[in-house]
Chain A
Amino acid sequence: MSRKQVKGEYIETDTGNKVARKANLVGTQHIMLGGKTVIQAEAMIRGDLARTAQPASTTTAAPGSNTAVAIGRYCFLSKGCCLRPPGRIYKGTFTYLPLRLGDHVFVGEGTVVQAATVGSHVHIGANVVIGEFAIIKDYVRVLDGAIVPPNMVIPSFSIVAGQPARVVGEVPEGGHEAFELRELYKTVGNNPQPLPVTTTETVSYECLSTKFSSSMRTSIRTFGGLSGFENGQPHLDEIPSFAKSSV
């Protein structure tokens, strides 16, 4: 990362990354940024949790190859989010495995991502937890407050919400452009540009998610084919006991 000497809020690199000075990047040698990515203040990337199971020689020989977190282009990591590579027992020892983000991935405020793979054009809302080794495909919208269980696979064009998360709807055909983060990228940085009038899609999409959460219209389930989904999380009332285990 080439540091410019201007004292702005962000450090802007040659490849167009905008990293907030207050961002918390740990183990930067294990973090790969594709470019044009925004990392806001207090966002944390745990690059230190790199693969440990490999023979020590390879790790020392090629430090770049042992990537812990790989991020594509035009990603947006909001304030206070955390990207953390997932870990598990592998060949008898505990090891972390890389976390990969595609392009145009938005990560909301206070969200923790421990997925194995996040595809391109994915919107992850605020205060979401993505469990370990979850796989999120392209064009997925995770609504605010969702908890995606570990190992879950979310297919393309899904809208996911709830605790635990479930697919509650389908991204409509007209909603694909709303995942584009190029305009949002321009609005942050040391000399930000105002959001042009053109990005109305995102605005109305937000209204849609509030629609979902506030159940403004009682028959709102008619669009998107949602069922039994109100107040931001699906009706899964009175689950008797969560922490049950007999082993």
Chain B
Amino acid sequence: MASFTPYTFIQCPCHESAVQSRSDDDASFTTAQELNDDDDDFAFDPRAQRSTFSLYPLEYLLYCDVCHEIRCPRCVTEEIVTIYCPNCLFEVGSSSLKTEGNRCTRSCFQCPICIGPLAVQALETPPEPALLSAESAATPAPAGPWILTCSYCHWNSSEIGVKFDKPQGIFGQLQKLRYGEEQSKHVVSGDTSPTKSDSIPETHKARFAALKSFYGSQTVSANPGAGLSGLGDYGLSSPGALTRIMSIYSGNTMNGLKQKNKSTIMREADSANEGFRPSDLDESAAISQLRRDGWDGTVTREQAKTQVEEGAQFADQLWPIPYLLRTKRSKRCPVCRHIISKPESKVSNTRWRIRLVANNSIPTISIKPLNPPPGSGLLKPLQPAQFLLTFKNALFDDVKVTLATPATTPGRFASRVTVLCPEFQIDANPDNDMYLDDVLRDGDKERQRQRGDESIHQAEAGKIWERGRNWVSIVVEVIPASLRLEPGKDGSDASPLKEDEDILEIPMFVRLEWESEATNDQVGTTTSKEKDAREKRELAYWCAIGIGRISQE
């Protein structure tokens, strides 16, 4: 608790649209302040329940340079570029994803106990050294049965009686061991096509498929042309769906008459190959196992959750977990549909084709105390403290910044906030010229030295504290509120301090104005013709600045 790092979170504009469109249902959750949307007095409350969902650190934000707006991970639309296994880093095609499921079908497994990676190891005594070939890390000599072992918690697959004949294709072998020869194929594919009538479905997926096909056929025989028959194919392209929609919309009169005539009784599934399974009400076996193995033999909620199949109760029912596949995704602006972030498609390539990040367009804000307080670093209640906010311009144009904060912070403990210099200009971000950088830094140093001679550099209202090539520091004065609650005051909430309520968080409205070259991006809009034209730009957003914790004295 003692350490606190100042932070800046920026609000994505998508927040507003959400409030406006859904204000009716959320009226009970939003504070009164938030509802006064059209009011000029509207101040953003970073502590409102809703705000936490729209505040992001600058790194997480993207910037659409067509709409000139900030975009956050919540409002962009994502598209999968590449699917790969996070363990073997092999790319998986989207077609094989459909047939084989969303897990790695090579030999990548996670430990069911601790989720560490599993390695294939020979169970038998150490192999003859001469037989070994180089490189392959997980495969010793071709001898004996093989097991999966976790080098973190020392679990191994022989604990659940699983041994493999060969060290390759573990996924397939495991499926066979688990579900038997003919079922394994079905399980791998995650296919919902009905199983052969003679086989008895074992897995949940297979049982679901069997049940679905059974009831599908039942409804078809009971009511052809309507009902659930189209369930299997949701797409509108199929003729079945079309007839279903037609029957829904083209008057119930004639269809209803038909249905009355054809009120045949539907049968319920009653045999195992139709997917029916009577639930096992005799739990004596489970109870005796619980007695024998105790608490350690049971499965934790987390472990059960990470399993592929549901319903594991005891540790010996836990199977190695094939790795879930991971994706590389590109992101689109939700408004103009332009791609604002696109990684290279190859798994090993870490470059990006398009990466319009917000820290290239909006200034970064860093916070530090003007006179570092001795001791705990907590803010003393009712004692003015001054902080330096440093704005660093990332644009190649001069930016005019206007800041606004409410006089007191929202919430139960209203601290007073004064921005001493709410309006200033930051110079353009120069090209990364290292030489220039050094020269100017020396200049800065000298200035600092001079300032040291002057001894006390007073923070003055309306003046910036310090200025660099593309950054400006200003002073913000806060008078932290007392965290002591006055009891007896009627109407006030006297509940004890909530989590992080002692953090002094300033809502700040930042407005940027700059002139830049007219957009001539790849879009080819009409404005791109006049390249020399300077365009006035404006960007405004709320941000929440966490200054520090107030001491609870």
Contact = CB atoms under 8 A, between A and B. Distances in A.
Interface string B321-355: 00000100001000000000100000100101001
Contacts of B56: 223
Contacts of A210: 3-5
A193 B420 CA distance: 29
Contacts of A151: 117, 119, 137-138, 151
B115 A166 contact: yes
Interface stretch (A28-36, A38-46, A237-245): A237-245
A164 B116 contact: yes
A93 B129 contact: yes
B326 A174 contact: no
Contacts of B156: 245-247
B509 interface: no
A222 B55 CA distance: 10
A207 B441 CA distance: 26
A124 B73 CA distance: 25
A64 interface: no
Contact of B113 (A176, A216, A239): A239
A242 B390 contact: no
A178 interface: yes
Contact of B86 (A89, A155, A219, A243): A155
Contacts of B468: 197
Interface stretch (B225-233, B291-299, B402-410): B291-299
A220 B155 contact: no
A1 interface: no
Contacts of A198: 392, 471
Contacts of A205: 57, 59
A155 B7 contact: no
Contacts of B84: 155
A147 B117 CA distance: 13
A54 B9 CA distance: 55
B315 A240 contact: yes
B92 interface: no
B171 to A, nearest CB: 17
Contact of A197 (B53, B392, B503): B392
Contacts of A211: 7, 57
From B88, B151, B471, name the one whose CB has the most chain A CB atoms within 10 angstroms: B151
B358 A240 contact: no
A216 B500 CA distance: 6
Given A89-B126, A174-B358, A174-B359, A204 B7 contact: yes
Contacts of B471: 197-198
A244 B153 contact: yes
A220 B52 contact: yes
Interface in A89-143: 89-93, 131-133, 137-139
Contacts of A147: 152
Interface string B354-373: 01011100001110000000
B359 A201 contact: yes
Given A177-B359, A203-B366, A240-B300, A153 B129 contact: no
A247 B302 contact: no
Contacts of A241: 296
Interface in B96-122: 113-117, 119
A201 B158 CA distance: 48
B247 interface: no
Interface in A145-166: 147, 149-158, 164, 166
A197 B444 CA distance: 11
Contact of A206 (B1, B5, B129, B154): B5
Interface in B244-297: 295-297
A96 to B, nearest CB: 14
B359 A207 contact: no
B386 interface: no
Contacts of B300: 236-240
A218 interface: yes
B451 interface: no
A174 B357 contact: yes
Given A207-B6, A219-B52, A242-B114, A200 B87 contact: no
Contact of A207 (B5, B55, B87, B392): B5
Contacts of A204: 7-8, 57-59, 364, 366
10 contacts: A92-B129, A131-B151, A132-B151, A153-B86, A196-B441, A197-B366, A206-B5, A237-B302, A247-B123, A247-B156
Interface of A: 88-93, 131-133, 137-139, 147, 149-158, 164, 166-167, 172-178, 193, 196-198, 200-201, 203-208, 210-211, 214, 216-220, 222-225, 228, 235-247
Given A205-B57, A208-B7, 11 more contacts: A152-B117, A157-B350, A174-B62, A204-B7, A204-B366, A222-B52, A241-B296, A242-B153, A246-B156, A246-B158, A247-B123
